[in-house]
Protein backbone atom coordinates (compact mmCIF):
# COMPACT_ATOMS: atom_id res chain seq x y z
CA UNK A 1 0.00 0.00 0.00
CA UNK A 2 1.49 3.30 -1.02
CA UNK A 3 1.48 6.07 1.57
CA UNK A 4 0.76 9.49 0.25
CA UNK A 5 1.85 12.49 2.37
CA UNK A 6 -0.21 15.56 2.29
CA UNK A 7 1.64 18.77 1.98
CA UNK A 8 0.83 21.13 4.89
CA UNK A 9 0.03 24.50 3.48
CA UNK A 10 0.96 26.16 6.83
CA UNK A 11 4.48 24.72 7.11
CA UNK A 12 6.26 27.42 5.10
CA UNK A 13 4.55 30.16 7.12
CA UNK A 14 5.69 28.59 10.38
CA UNK A 15 9.29 28.46 9.21
CA UNK A 16 9.11 32.06 8.03
CA UNK A 17 7.69 33.25 11.36
CA UNK A 18 10.35 31.31 13.26
CA UNK A 19 13.09 32.98 11.28
CA UNK A 20 11.57 36.42 11.75
CA UNK A 21 11.10 35.92 15.49
CA UNK A 22 14.69 34.79 15.83
CA UNK A 23 15.86 37.97 14.15
CA UNK A 24 13.55 40.08 16.31
CA UNK A 25 14.82 38.38 19.46
CA UNK A 26 18.39 39.08 18.43
CA UNK A 27 17.58 42.74 17.70
CA UNK A 28 15.70 43.10 20.98
CA UNK A 29 18.51 41.52 22.96
CA UNK A 30 21.02 43.77 21.23
CA UNK A 31 18.86 46.82 21.95
CA UNK A 32 18.35 45.72 25.56
CA UNK A 33 22.10 45.26 26.01
CA UNK A 34 22.68 48.70 24.48
CA UNK A 35 20.12 50.31 26.83
CA UNK A 36 21.60 48.57 29.87
CA UNK A 37 25.08 49.71 28.89
CA UNK A 38 23.85 53.25 28.21
CA UNK A 39 22.07 53.33 31.57
CA UNK A 40 25.20 52.21 33.35
CA UNK A 41 27.31 54.80 31.56
CA UNK A 42 24.80 57.48 32.54
CA UNK A 43 24.92 56.15 36.07
CA UNK A 44 28.71 56.49 36.09
CA UNK A 45 28.45 60.12 34.87
CA UNK A 46 25.75 60.84 37.45
CA UNK A 47 27.88 59.31 40.22
CA UNK A 48 30.81 61.52 39.21
CA UNK A 49 28.62 64.62 39.29
CA UNK A 50 27.14 63.75 42.70
CA UNK A 51 30.61 63.10 44.09
CA UNK A 52 31.94 66.46 42.86
CA UNK A 53 28.91 68.35 44.19
CA UNK A 54 29.20 66.52 47.50
CA UNK A 55 32.84 67.57 47.81
CA UNK A 56 31.97 71.21 47.11
CA UNK A 57 29.12 71.03 49.62
CA UNK A 58 31.64 70.17 52.33
CA UNK A 59 33.05 73.71 52.39
CA UNK A 60 34.60 75.17 55.51
CA UNK A 61 31.86 77.05 57.38
CA UNK A 62 34.33 79.17 59.38
CA UNK A 63 36.08 80.27 56.20
CA UNK A 64 32.76 81.39 54.73
CA UNK A 65 31.58 83.16 57.89
CA UNK A 66 34.83 85.03 58.48
CA UNK A 67 36.07 85.83 54.98
CA UNK A 68 33.11 85.17 52.69
CA UNK A 69 35.08 82.46 50.84
CA UNK A 70 34.08 78.97 49.77
CA UNK A 71 36.70 76.25 50.07
CA UNK A 72 37.01 72.56 50.97
CA UNK A 73 39.82 70.49 52.43
CA UNK A 74 41.09 68.21 49.66
CA UNK A 75 42.73 65.99 52.26
CA UNK A 76 39.34 64.90 53.61
CA UNK A 77 37.83 63.89 50.26
CA UNK A 78 36.58 60.28 49.89
CA UNK A 79 34.55 58.34 47.30
CA UNK A 80 31.61 57.36 49.53
CA UNK A 81 28.99 59.32 47.56
CA UNK A 82 30.35 58.01 44.27
CA UNK A 83 29.96 54.37 45.40
CA UNK A 84 26.54 54.99 46.95
CA UNK A 85 25.17 56.39 43.68
CA UNK A 86 26.92 53.81 41.48
CA UNK A 87 24.80 50.84 40.34
CA UNK A 88 25.96 47.68 42.17
CA UNK A 89 25.78 45.74 38.87
CA UNK A 90 28.60 47.80 37.44
CA UNK A 91 31.12 46.32 39.81
CA UNK A 92 34.11 47.88 41.55
CA UNK A 93 35.42 51.11 40.00
CA UNK A 94 38.24 53.43 40.94
CA UNK A 95 37.64 57.15 41.46
CA UNK A 96 40.52 59.55 40.83
CA UNK A 97 40.85 63.17 41.95
CA UNK A 98 42.31 64.35 38.68
CA UNK A 99 42.77 67.96 39.79
CA UNK A 100 41.98 70.23 42.73
CA UNK A 101 41.69 73.93 41.91
CA UNK A 102 43.00 76.24 44.64
CA UNK A 103 42.33 79.92 45.21
CA UNK A 104 44.54 82.36 43.31
CA UNK A 105 44.72 86.15 43.09
CA UNK A 106 41.97 86.44 40.47
CA UNK A 107 39.63 84.17 42.44
CA UNK A 108 40.21 86.12 45.64
CA UNK A 109 39.66 89.37 43.76
CA UNK A 110 36.24 88.19 42.55
CA UNK A 111 35.35 86.88 46.01
CA UNK A 112 36.13 90.25 47.60
CA UNK A 113 33.93 91.99 45.04
CA UNK A 114 31.05 89.66 45.93
CA UNK A 115 31.77 90.10 49.65
CA UNK A 116 31.25 93.86 49.50
CA UNK A 117 28.36 93.67 47.04
CA UNK A 118 26.20 92.32 49.87
CA UNK A 119 27.76 94.14 52.82
CA UNK A 120 28.51 97.68 51.61
CA UNK A 121 25.35 99.24 53.03
CA UNK A 122 25.84 97.62 56.43
CA UNK A 123 29.51 98.58 56.67
CA UNK A 124 28.86 102.15 55.49
CA UNK A 125 25.98 102.56 57.93
CA UNK A 126 28.21 101.45 60.78
CA UNK A 127 30.88 103.98 59.80
CA UNK A 128 28.35 106.83 59.58
CA UNK A 129 26.82 105.81 62.91
CA UNK A 130 30.22 105.96 64.59
CA UNK A 131 30.89 109.43 63.19
CA UNK A 132 27.43 110.76 64.14
CA UNK A 133 27.69 109.32 67.63
CA UNK A 134 29.08 112.57 69.18
CA UNK A 135 26.17 114.52 67.66
CA UNK A 136 23.64 112.08 69.08
CA UNK A 137 25.33 112.22 72.48
CA UNK A 138 25.17 116.02 72.39
CA UNK A 139 21.47 115.88 71.51
CA UNK A 140 20.90 113.41 74.31
CA UNK A 141 22.60 115.70 76.83
CA UNK A 142 20.32 118.54 75.76
CA UNK A 143 17.21 116.39 76.13
CA UNK A 144 16.27 116.57 72.45
CA UNK A 145 16.11 112.79 72.02
CA UNK A 146 13.93 112.49 75.10
CA UNK A 147 11.56 115.10 73.68
CA UNK A 148 11.36 113.22 70.40
CA UNK A 149 10.52 110.01 72.28
CA UNK A 150 7.79 111.79 74.24
CA UNK A 151 6.37 113.15 71.02
CA UNK A 152 6.33 109.72 69.38
CA UNK A 153 4.40 108.33 72.34
CA UNK A 154 1.93 111.21 72.45
CA UNK A 155 -1.45 111.37 70.75
CA UNK A 156 -0.29 114.16 68.45
CA UNK A 157 2.04 111.94 66.42
CA UNK A 158 -0.65 110.40 64.14
CA UNK A 159 -2.05 113.83 63.27
CA UNK A 160 1.39 115.22 62.46
CA UNK A 161 2.00 112.16 60.28
CA UNK A 162 -1.16 112.92 58.31
CA UNK A 163 0.02 116.50 57.85
CA UNK A 164 3.41 115.31 56.59
CA UNK A 165 1.77 112.87 54.18
CA UNK A 166 -0.24 115.75 52.76
CA UNK A 167 2.78 118.03 52.50
CA UNK A 168 2.94 117.47 48.75
CA UNK A 169 -0.47 119.06 48.28
CA UNK A 170 0.56 121.98 50.48
CA UNK A 171 3.69 122.49 48.42
CA UNK A 172 1.68 122.56 45.21
CA UNK A 173 -0.70 125.08 46.73
CA UNK A 174 2.14 127.37 47.80
CA UNK A 175 3.70 127.20 44.34
CA UNK A 176 0.42 128.35 42.82
CA UNK A 177 0.10 131.23 45.32
CA UNK A 178 3.34 133.18 45.22
CA UNK A 179 1.77 136.19 46.97
CA UNK A 180 1.60 134.38 50.35
CA UNK A 181 3.94 135.97 52.91
CA UNK A 182 6.07 133.31 54.62
CA UNK A 183 8.59 135.62 56.27
CA UNK A 184 7.13 134.87 59.69
CA UNK A 185 8.33 131.28 59.48
CA UNK A 186 12.01 132.22 59.41
CA UNK A 187 12.23 132.45 63.19
CA UNK A 188 10.42 129.19 63.89
CA UNK A 189 13.60 127.50 65.17
CA UNK A 190 13.74 130.03 68.02
CA UNK A 191 10.40 128.68 69.22
CA UNK A 192 11.66 125.08 69.08
CA UNK A 193 15.11 125.41 70.61
CA UNK A 194 15.01 126.84 74.13
CA UNK A 195 18.40 125.46 75.23
CA UNK A 196 21.39 127.65 75.94
CA UNK A 197 23.71 125.72 73.61
CA UNK A 198 22.98 125.57 69.94
CA UNK A 199 22.78 121.79 69.68
CA UNK A 200 21.66 122.07 66.06
CA UNK A 201 25.04 123.45 65.01
CA UNK A 202 27.38 120.77 63.70
CA UNK A 203 30.24 123.20 63.42
CA UNK A 204 30.60 122.52 59.70
CA UNK A 205 28.17 125.04 58.26
CA UNK A 206 25.28 122.57 58.53
CA UNK A 207 22.78 121.86 61.24
CA UNK A 208 20.63 119.01 62.43
CA UNK A 209 17.54 120.46 60.75
CA UNK A 210 19.30 120.63 57.40
CA UNK A 211 17.75 117.63 55.63
CA UNK A 212 20.16 117.98 52.73
CA UNK A 213 22.91 116.73 55.04
CA UNK A 214 21.15 113.40 55.56
CA UNK A 215 19.77 113.02 52.04
CA UNK A 216 23.24 113.59 50.62
CA UNK A 217 24.67 110.92 52.93
CA UNK A 218 21.94 108.47 51.94
CA UNK A 219 22.61 109.27 48.29
CA UNK A 220 26.30 108.58 48.79
CA UNK A 221 25.48 105.22 50.39
CA UNK A 222 23.23 104.26 47.47
CA UNK A 223 25.84 105.35 44.94
CA UNK A 224 28.56 103.41 46.74
CA UNK A 225 26.35 100.32 46.95
CA UNK A 226 25.52 100.49 43.23
CA UNK A 227 29.17 100.93 42.36
CA UNK A 228 30.21 97.88 44.40
CA UNK A 229 27.34 95.78 43.03
CA UNK A 230 28.44 96.60 39.49
CA UNK A 231 31.92 95.42 40.36
CA UNK A 232 30.66 92.09 41.71
CA UNK A 233 30.98 90.47 38.31
CA UNK A 234 34.42 91.86 37.59
CA UNK A 235 37.60 92.96 39.32
CA UNK A 236 37.44 94.77 42.63
CA UNK A 237 38.43 98.40 43.05
CA UNK A 238 41.70 98.93 44.92
CA UNK A 239 40.05 100.69 47.91
CA UNK A 240 37.90 97.61 48.57
CA UNK A 241 40.85 95.23 48.40
CA UNK A 242 42.76 97.47 50.82
CA UNK A 243 39.71 97.68 53.10
CA UNK A 244 39.36 93.88 53.13
CA UNK A 245 43.04 93.50 54.03
CA UNK A 246 42.97 96.15 56.75
CA UNK A 247 39.73 95.23 58.53
CA UNK A 248 39.13 91.53 57.92
CA UNK A 249 42.34 89.95 59.21
CA UNK A 250 43.63 89.62 62.74
CA UNK A 251 46.10 92.18 64.09
CA UNK A 252 48.05 92.66 67.28
CA UNK A 253 45.05 94.23 69.06
CA UNK A 254 43.30 92.06 71.63
CA UNK A 255 40.82 89.69 70.01
CA UNK A 256 37.88 90.34 72.32
CA UNK A 257 37.75 94.05 71.50
CA UNK A 258 38.77 93.83 67.85
CA UNK A 259 36.37 91.69 65.79
CA UNK A 260 36.17 91.32 62.03
CA UNK A 261 34.07 93.51 59.73
CA UNK A 262 30.92 91.54 60.51
CA UNK A 263 31.66 91.22 64.23
CA UNK A 264 33.23 87.73 64.43
CA UNK A 265 35.99 87.24 67.00
CA UNK A 266 39.32 86.26 65.45
CA UNK A 267 39.81 83.94 68.42
CA UNK A 268 37.61 81.43 66.59
CA UNK A 269 40.28 81.12 63.93
CA UNK A 270 43.36 81.06 66.16
CA UNK A 271 43.76 81.32 69.89
CA UNK A 272 45.99 84.38 70.27
CA UNK A 273 46.52 87.72 68.61
CA UNK A 274 48.59 87.53 65.46
CA UNK A 275 50.10 90.10 63.12
CA UNK A 276 48.13 89.04 60.05
CA UNK A 277 47.11 92.52 58.86
CA UNK A 278 50.54 93.93 59.67
CA UNK A 279 52.22 91.11 57.72
CA UNK A 280 49.96 91.79 54.74
CA UNK A 281 50.89 95.47 54.93
CA UNK A 282 54.66 95.00 55.28
CA UNK A 283 55.16 91.67 53.46
CA UNK A 284 56.62 90.07 56.61
CA UNK A 285 55.65 86.89 58.41
CA UNK A 286 55.14 85.76 62.00
CA UNK A 287 56.30 88.21 64.65
CA UNK A 288 57.91 90.29 61.93
CA UNK A 289 54.57 92.03 61.72
CA UNK A 290 55.55 94.06 64.80
CA UNK A 291 57.34 96.31 62.32
CA UNK A 292 53.92 97.05 60.84
CA UNK A 293 52.61 98.11 64.25
CA UNK A 294 55.40 100.68 64.46
CA UNK A 295 54.67 101.87 60.92
CA UNK A 296 50.95 102.33 61.62
CA UNK A 297 51.52 104.16 64.91
CA UNK A 298 54.18 106.39 63.35
CA UNK A 299 51.84 107.24 60.51
CA UNK A 300 49.06 107.98 63.00
CA UNK A 301 51.43 110.26 64.92
CA UNK A 302 52.31 112.24 61.80
CA UNK A 303 48.69 112.57 60.66
CA UNK A 304 47.36 113.61 64.07
CA UNK A 305 50.26 116.00 64.70
CA UNK A 306 49.75 117.62 61.30
CA UNK A 307 46.05 118.12 61.97
CA UNK A 308 46.77 119.51 65.44
CA UNK A 309 49.30 121.91 63.91
CA UNK A 310 46.75 123.16 61.39
CA UNK A 311 44.09 123.52 64.09
CA UNK A 312 46.40 125.82 66.04
CA UNK A 313 47.96 127.67 63.12
CA UNK A 314 44.71 128.36 61.30
CA UNK A 315 43.07 129.65 64.49
CA UNK A 316 43.85 133.36 64.46
CA UNK A 317 43.37 133.79 68.21
CA UNK A 318 45.57 130.82 69.17
CA UNK A 319 48.23 131.73 66.62
CA UNK A 320 48.41 135.22 68.05
CA UNK A 321 48.89 133.80 71.55
CA UNK A 322 51.83 131.69 70.37
CA UNK A 323 53.25 134.64 68.48
CA UNK A 324 53.14 136.81 71.59
CA UNK A 325 54.97 134.13 73.55
CA UNK A 326 57.50 133.72 70.72
CA UNK A 327 58.20 137.46 70.64
CA UNK A 328 58.73 137.49 74.39
CA UNK A 329 61.09 134.50 74.23
CA UNK A 330 63.01 136.11 71.34
CA UNK A 331 63.50 139.30 73.36
CA UNK A 332 64.68 137.30 76.41
CA UNK A 333 67.14 135.27 74.33
CA UNK A 334 68.50 138.42 72.71
CA UNK A 335 68.93 140.08 76.11
CA UNK A 336 70.61 137.08 77.72
CA UNK A 337 72.99 136.57 74.79
CA UNK A 338 73.79 140.27 74.42
CA UNK A 339 72.21 140.22 70.97
CA UNK A 340 74.24 137.29 69.63
CA UNK A 341 71.12 135.13 69.40
CA UNK A 342 68.63 136.76 67.09
CA UNK A 343 65.68 134.47 66.30
CA UNK A 344 62.81 135.47 64.06
CA UNK A 345 59.65 135.37 66.25
CA UNK A 346 57.64 133.88 63.38
CA UNK A 347 60.07 130.95 63.07
CA UNK A 348 60.07 130.48 66.83
CA UNK A 349 56.25 130.53 66.80
CA UNK A 350 56.10 127.76 64.19
CA UNK A 351 58.61 125.68 66.18
CA UNK A 352 56.52 126.08 69.31
CA UNK A 353 53.30 125.10 67.50
CA UNK A 354 55.00 122.04 65.98
CA UNK A 355 56.28 121.01 69.41
CA UNK A 356 52.85 121.31 71.00
CA UNK A 357 51.22 119.50 68.06
CA UNK A 358 53.74 116.66 68.32
CA UNK A 359 53.11 116.34 72.06
CA UNK A 360 49.37 116.10 71.44
CA UNK A 361 50.04 113.69 68.59
CA UNK A 362 52.12 111.40 70.82
CA UNK A 363 49.33 111.31 73.37
CA UNK A 364 46.70 110.42 70.77
CA UNK A 365 48.97 107.95 68.93
CA UNK A 366 49.44 106.06 72.19
CA UNK A 367 45.66 105.71 72.45
CA UNK A 368 45.56 104.45 68.87
CA UNK A 369 48.17 101.81 69.71
CA UNK A 370 46.02 100.69 72.64
CA UNK A 371 43.06 100.16 70.33
CA UNK A 372 41.12 103.36 71.10
CA UNK A 373 39.53 105.66 68.55
CA UNK A 374 40.65 109.28 68.69
CA UNK A 375 39.01 112.39 67.19
CA UNK A 376 40.92 113.74 64.24
CA UNK A 377 39.14 117.09 64.15
CA UNK A 378 38.01 119.49 66.84
CA UNK A 379 35.72 122.32 65.76
CA UNK A 380 34.21 124.79 68.20
CA UNK A 381 35.04 122.53 71.09
CA UNK A 382 33.32 119.53 69.49
CA UNK A 383 35.18 116.45 68.27
CA UNK A 384 34.59 114.81 64.89
CA UNK A 385 35.95 112.05 62.64
CA UNK A 386 37.00 109.34 65.08
CA UNK A 387 39.77 107.09 63.77
CA UNK A 388 41.37 103.98 65.21
CA UNK A 389 44.31 101.68 64.59
CA UNK A 390 42.73 99.88 61.65
CA UNK A 391 41.66 103.16 60.04
CA UNK A 392 45.25 104.36 59.87
CA UNK A 393 46.33 100.92 58.68
CA UNK A 394 43.75 101.15 55.89
CA UNK A 395 45.30 104.42 54.70
CA UNK A 396 48.68 102.67 54.44
CA UNK A 397 47.13 99.65 52.70
CA UNK A 398 46.01 101.99 49.93
CA UNK A 399 49.69 102.50 49.09
CA UNK A 400 50.28 98.76 48.48
CA UNK A 401 49.58 97.40 44.95
CA UNK A 402 46.66 95.00 44.46
CA UNK A 403 48.86 92.12 43.38
CA UNK A 404 50.92 92.21 46.58
CA UNK A 405 47.85 92.53 48.81
CA UNK A 406 46.10 89.57 47.16
CA UNK A 407 49.24 87.43 47.26
CA UNK A 408 49.86 88.17 50.94
CA UNK A 409 46.22 87.61 51.87
CA UNK A 410 46.32 84.22 50.13
CA UNK A 411 49.38 83.31 52.15
CA UNK A 412 47.63 84.29 55.38
CA UNK A 413 44.51 82.28 54.50
CA UNK A 414 46.64 79.19 53.83
CA UNK A 415 48.30 79.64 57.22
CA UNK A 416 44.95 79.49 59.03
CA UNK A 417 42.96 77.10 56.83
CA UNK A 418 45.54 75.15 54.86
CA UNK A 419 45.43 74.80 51.09
CA UNK A 420 41.70 74.75 50.39
CA UNK A 421 40.07 73.83 47.10
CA UNK A 422 37.78 76.06 45.08
CA UNK A 423 36.98 73.48 42.41
CA UNK A 424 37.60 69.85 41.51
CA UNK A 425 37.82 67.44 38.59
CA UNK A 426 37.00 63.77 39.29
CA UNK A 427 37.76 60.98 36.86
CA UNK A 428 37.03 57.27 36.36
CA UNK A 429 37.18 54.65 33.62
CA UNK A 430 34.37 52.33 32.47
CA UNK A 431 34.70 49.71 29.70
CA UNK A 432 37.63 51.44 28.03
CA UNK A 433 36.08 54.91 28.16
CA UNK A 434 37.35 57.72 30.42
CA UNK A 435 34.74 59.82 32.23
CA UNK A 436 35.45 63.06 34.08
CA UNK A 437 33.45 65.85 35.68
CA UNK A 438 34.68 69.34 36.65
CA UNK A 439 32.86 71.66 39.04
CA UNK A 440 33.78 74.88 40.84
CA UNK A 441 32.06 77.37 43.13
CA UNK A 442 30.13 80.02 41.20
CA UNK A 443 31.69 82.65 43.49
CA UNK A 444 34.98 82.36 41.63
CA UNK A 445 33.41 82.46 38.16
pLDDT tens by residue, 389-429? 989 999 999 999 999 999 999 998 988 888 888 899 999 88
Q: What residue numbers bound the domain in which 438 lies?
A: 17-103+427-444
Query: Per the domain annotation, does 252 fall within a domain?
Result: no
Kindly state the average pLDDT of the residues 69-92. Answer: 83
Question: pLDDT class for 289, splitting at 50, 70, 90?
Answer: confident
Q: What is the pLDDT of residues 147-193, one digit of tens each?
A: 556 656 665 556 555 555 554 454 454 445 555 444 443 443 343 34
* pLDDT beyond 80 at 6: no
Query: Per the domain annotation, does 345 fall within a domain?
Result: no
Q: Which of 61-75, 119-133, 145-159 is predicted with the least confidence, judged by mean pLDDT?
A: 145-159
Query: Per the domain annotation, does 370 fall within a domain?
Result: no
pTM to 2 decimal places:
0.67
Query: Per the domain annotation, does 347 fall within a domain?
Result: no
Query: Per the domain annotation, does 358 fall within a domain?
Result: no
Task: Please give the tally of structural domains in the chain.
Answer: 1
Query: Per the domain annotation, does 117 fall within a domain?
Result: no
Query: Per the domain annotation, does 153 fall within a domain?
Result: no
Mean of per-residue pLDDT scores for the chain: 75
Kindly state the average pLDDT of the residues 31-48. Answer: 86
3-class secondary structure per residue, the chain:
CCCCCCCCCCHHHHHHHHHHHHHHHHHHHHHHHHHHHHHHHHHHHHHHHHHHHHHHHCCCHHHHHHHCCCCEEHHHCCCHHHHHHCCHHHCCCCCEEEEEEECCHHHHHHHHHHHHHCCHHHHHHHHHHHHHHHHHHHHHHCCHHHHHHHHHHCCCHHHHHHHHHCHHHHHHHHHHCCCCCCHHHCCHHHHHCCCCCCCCECCCCCECCCHHHHHHHHHHHHHHHHHHHHHCCCCCCHHHHHHHHHHCCCCCCCHHHCCCCCCCCHHHCCCCCCCHHHHHHHCCCHHHHHHHHHHHHHHHHHHHHHHHHHHHHCCHHHHHHHHHHHHHHHHHHHHHCCCCCCCCHHHHHHHHHHHHHHHHHHHHHHHHHCCCCEEEEEECCEEEEEECHHHHHHHHHCCCCHHHHHHHHHHHHHHHHCCEEEEEEEEEEECCEEEEEEEECHHHC
Kindly state the average pLDDT of the residues 268-284. Answer: 82
Kindly state the average pLDDT of the residues 336-359. Answer: 80
* pLDDT beyond 80 at 321: yes
Query: Per the domain annotation, does 76 fall within a domain?
Result: yes
Amino acid sequence: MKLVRRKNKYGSGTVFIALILAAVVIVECTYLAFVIDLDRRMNVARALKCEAESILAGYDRDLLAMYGLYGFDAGEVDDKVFRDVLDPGIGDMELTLDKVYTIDNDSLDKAIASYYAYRTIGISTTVFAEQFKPILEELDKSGVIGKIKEYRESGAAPYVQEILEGAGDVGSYLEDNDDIDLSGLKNITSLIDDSKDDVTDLGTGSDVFDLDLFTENISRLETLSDMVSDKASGNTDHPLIAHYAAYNFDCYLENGSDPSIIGIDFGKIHGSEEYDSENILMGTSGKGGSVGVGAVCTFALHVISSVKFLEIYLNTEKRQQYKNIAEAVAVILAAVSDGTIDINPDVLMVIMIITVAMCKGFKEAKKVRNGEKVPLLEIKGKEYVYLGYRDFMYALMLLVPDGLLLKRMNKTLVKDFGVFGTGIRVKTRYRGTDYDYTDTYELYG
